[in-house]
Amino acid sequence: MTVQNYDPALMAAQVDNDEKAFADLRQRHFKARAKLSLENEQLRGSFLGATDFLQAKRRAVFEDTSELEHLRDRGEAIRQQSLAQLPDLLETLEKNLTANGIQVHWAETAEQACAHVHSILAANNARTVVKGKSMVSEEIELNHYLEKQGIECLESDMGEYLVQLAKEMPSHIIMPAIHKTTAQIARLMHSRAERSDGQPVPYTEDVDELIGNARAILRDKFASADAGISGVNMAIANTGTLCLVENEGNGRMSTTAPPIHIAITGIEKVVADLADVPDLLSLLTRSATGQHISTYFNMISSPRKTGELDGPEQVHLVLVDNGRSRMFNHPQLKPTLQCIRCGACMNHCPVYARIGGHAYGSTYPGPIGQVVTPQMQGLDKQGELVSACTLNGACGEACPVRIPLPKLIRELRHEANSTAPASELDIPGKGSQRHLGEAVVWKGWALAHQYGPVYRSMTWALSRGRSLMPHRLGAWTATRTMPMPAEKSLHELAKAAGIQQQPSGVEDPS
């Protein structure tokens, strides 16, 4: 379908507007971002629709709930065992990758990781890069870094490509452009995508045509790029193999067409054996998109060997820490590293469904983002994220590797308010969310509730003062009526009815 009557200038202006709106959102504080997102009817509709759809797809593919629970047990066990031997597995991985001809680079920080990638590219005089999808590269802001060094880095996953064209950030870890409508994408492609002949792509709202247009552009880039960058879903220590899960074939193109392939991943992605892969893969694709298996599953075990006709001449792996060692050493927060980045937690989160991914202001949105981001960037900078949760548990119930996400969020709230002496293993910004006002409120609350007589006089006063109750209570009464205390508390009613307090022979603890 090609639309005839349109105004290219108006369209370009709308695309610019979307970009400005995003930039404006980025400037704001979490609450303001959430509010703006909530007020955007179109956005709310698309996220709620998308999460309903993804939940239904997951449910359908995990029809047999006992099989699902069994598989989740396996997934959890594999991830926990891998983490239990993480240092050893990483050493084995390095040894076997090196033996296979894959060069390994270690990066403690995001900055170091970017610098590694840059120096590999610079050493090979590479100026153009095609990228498969990689959340770690988003985490370390690699595109931005390379751009500053004059290196063009083109995203080749359809969603990432659109987000890059729009100058935005992914709003979901699996479906980066989930926030965009077809019309927005059509305008974006027409105004910003450029064919290799320098012409704009014709305007269309037909999804297949849109994808066809992007594919044509990307084909040329794959053929001419100096290097390819990708993420890694699992790295197998005992065989020295990098596994990459994808649906579009762009991952395979990015990792095989250019002469250099640089893979980037977090140190937690390692598993011991090939035998660990099938269950994790099945959990990943089913939880993420409701697919039994993804369209492509790549296992990369070496650069091009002599006599082979294709494949890159060099393969590199950059292993990124960026706060992961700290998570590893934290007894309560260690399960954060079990994550296989399937996105199911955000698909099941009622908060994410309403505010969307951009409101979180971080690479990883939703429940896993609320857990990972403050640990990476500090509770002082991203501490408010942990308050944006009702602890309803839907994420933990969906997580294929049984990460107790609500428990971790609660733990982070504790860390955020902690007054314990500082230690080396601390999350940055520990204690930074503690405000005198709130701390005093909880102290007072504890006093009122730890002594029976004090508590009873408080509820007595509450019921007797019910007519004096304010009719407004901040955010609560903006959309709700004020709850009214009863005339007498249950303590009073029970006492009046002569209800016994303790079994005979047991003393009243007062």
Partner 1 sequence: MAQQPFTRCRDYPARPQQVYLMGTCLVDSFDPQAGMDAIQFLQHHGVEVLFPQQQSCCGQPAFNSGFDDEARQVARQQLKAFAADIPVVVMMGSCAAMLHCDYARLFEGQPEEAQAKALAARTFEFTEFVDRVLCLPPLPASGERVVLHTSCSARRSMGVAECHQRVLQNSGVEVVEPNRVTECCGFGGTFALKQGDISAAMACDKAEAVAACGVDTLVSADCGCLMNIGGTLAKQGRPIKTRHIASLLRQRQEESL
Q: What is the dihedral of CA 411, 414, 416, 421, to 10 degrees?
A: -110
User: CA 423, CA 219: separation in Å to the nearest integer?
Assistant: 52
Q: How far is the CB of 338 from ligand SF4 (least distance, A)?
A: 7
Length of the chain: 510
Q: Is 399 in the site for ligand SF4 (CB under 6 A)?
A: yes
Closer to partner 1 by Cβ: residue 6 or 476 = 476
Site for partner 1 in 33-92 (CB under 8 A): 34-35, 38, 44, 52, 56, 59, 65
The 344-373 contact track toward partner 1, x by CB under 8 A, reads ------xx--xx------------------
Q: Is 382 in the site for partner 1 (CB under 8 A)?
A: no
Closer to ligand SF4 by Cβ: residue 165 or 340 = 340
Q: Is 331 in the site for partner 1 (CB under 8 A)?
A: no
Q: How far is the CB of 399 from ligand SF4 (least distance, A)?
A: 3
Q: Are 60 and 290 in contact (CB under 8 A)?
A: yes
Q: How far is the CB of 398 from ligand SF4 (least distance, A)?
A: 6
The two three-digit tokens of residue 100, written as one number: 């296979």
| Run of H or E including 99 | helix 86-99
The two three-digit tokens of residue 64, written as one number: 């047999």
The 91-110 contact track toward ligand SF4, x by CB under 6 A, reads --------------------
What is the torsional sign of CA 366, 367, 368, 372? positive
Q: How far is the CB of 307 from ligand SF4 (least distance, A)?
A: 40
Q: Is 469 in the site for partner 1 (CB under 8 A)?
A: no
Site for ligand SF4 in 323-382 (CB under 6 A): 339-345, 368
Closer to partner 1 by Cβ: residue 171 or 322 = 171
Q: What is the dihedral of CA 83, 79, 271, 281, to 10 degrees?
A: -160
**DSSP state at residue 176:** T
Residue 341 interacting partner from partner 1, ligand SF4, none (CB closer than 5 to 8 Å by kind): ligand SF4
Distances from the Cα of 489 to the Cα of 297, 446, 471, 481, angstroms: 62, 19, 20, 21
User: CA 3, CA 6: separation in Å to the nearest integer?
Assistant: 7
Closer to partner 1 by Cβ: residue 269 or 286 = 286
Q: Which of 76, 108, 68 has the alpha carbon at shortest distance from 338?
A: 76
Closer to ligand SF4 by Cβ: residue 65 or 125 = 65
Instruction: Give the binding site for ligand SF4 (CB under 6 A).
Output: 339-345, 368, 398-401, 403, 405
